[in-house]
Structure 1
Amino acid sequence: MTYCVGMRLERGLVFMSDTRTNAGVDNISVFKKMFHWEVPGERVITMMTAGNLATTQSVVSLMNERSLPADERGIPSIMEAPSMFQIAKHVGETLREVIADHEGQKGLIADSAFGATIILGGQVRGGPPRLFLIYPEGNFVEACDDTPFFQIGETKYGKPILVRAYDPSMRFEEAVKLLMLSFDSTLKANLSVGLPLDMHLYETDSLKLGQCRRIEPEDSFFAEISSGWGEKLREAFAALPDYTLD
């Protein structure tokens, strides 16, 4: 399982992903799920993946190949696309092609589907930062004021705190704290999501990679956030009025 969140703020974009991949409780591995492409001063692209690992790795490999100039077959490069919309369209088409190719192969049948979902965000010079959620079918939706963040993977446990506490004007430091709480709730509820976490903070119009950091299991700040949140929840619960029984 996976948990990834992409969030749009007035200041820029925030990305966070876990790294746990499992094929059963006795087969747990760590795989990176956040990837970047950059032309400083011209564009920055961040992609996070969830779903079948073979599918997502194939998509990332193709994106790496297609970050080079367009080849003789006319396949466009994500480094030459004129907008984030066109990049999202290209990634969606690639995802659909990879899934169709895997499903069309003859041979042993996999127990799980080849599907995958992707969060794609970034900025191309001349346009604003944009954030997209790309579905296995290749179509996608864009974040807006009413839907300012996207989640993929195991989404249900970490969503309530995002819905309640998100503010578009919050600082990056506050956004990181909020996402850590969202991930902490998910980690405690589902063992298939786990540390370390990868994070990227992109500042609007910087057109270069922002802070990229890996939050390890021994990270003291994450541990402090986790324990402190538990204590505050218990205090808030105790402060609420008791229900009156007849």
Structure 2
Amino acid sequence: MSSDELKDFLDQKVVQYNHPKFLEDDPIQIPHRFTKKEDIEISGFLTATIAWGNRKSIINNASRLMDLMNHAPHDFVLNHSDEELEKLSSFVHRTFNGTDLQYFVKSLRNIYLHHKGLESVFSKYQLKQTLQPAISNFKSVFFELPHPKRTKKHVSDPNKGSAAKRINMFLRWMVRDNSTGVDFGIWNSLSPAQLSCPLDVHSGNVARKLGLLTRKQNDAKALEELDINLRKLDPLDPVKYDFALFGLGVFEKF
């Protein structure tokens, strides 16, 4: 199909899938349980961190995580006791375990106390056209405290070739506007034009079938290629097409 036909097709799929009913089976439902900005950020970041594997399992484990944090993640991060932190040791989602979670809470506390919060860190290192370098710098800040070596694998780094799917998804949640009731639009210091698509198996395979991606691996170079092509379709909000690509792959087996 022509570029105009492709845009029309994908725009229709965006309308279909960028819809509140999308929340019913998606991990983004977890931060939608909160109204306070910092609660949305922290619950969203932790949920995105464990967002790989079966979506039902992700939602169940993210819900358990919120239980462990007394359904007040910002207050928990800032004011947890040693006993409350120890209770996190029982948590596990695939290879992300209680040791990892305990460090994540300590690091988030450091970020909110000494770096003005999650938004401030990403905003500080943003570039006009992309947030990928900001993700790499965020990882450096996140692990500036003494940390378990094993835990570093749970924060991706585009500078080391990763497509950083989960952090790009988290950034989409925080930055894209909430006009459809799906994303939140609570980070005004960043622009949707800077976002990159959360590239996974589903979105990657559909993008290749549609001619938006030629690289076979779902890595940083593939993400760069997909960014270029999605920005041709909509330079102001390229990541709205995440819904179309994901929906076509997961729900329509395109």
- Mark the structure with the bigger radius of gyration: 1
Identify the structure with the greater helix proportion. Answer: 2
Identify the structure with the greater strand proportion. Answer: 1
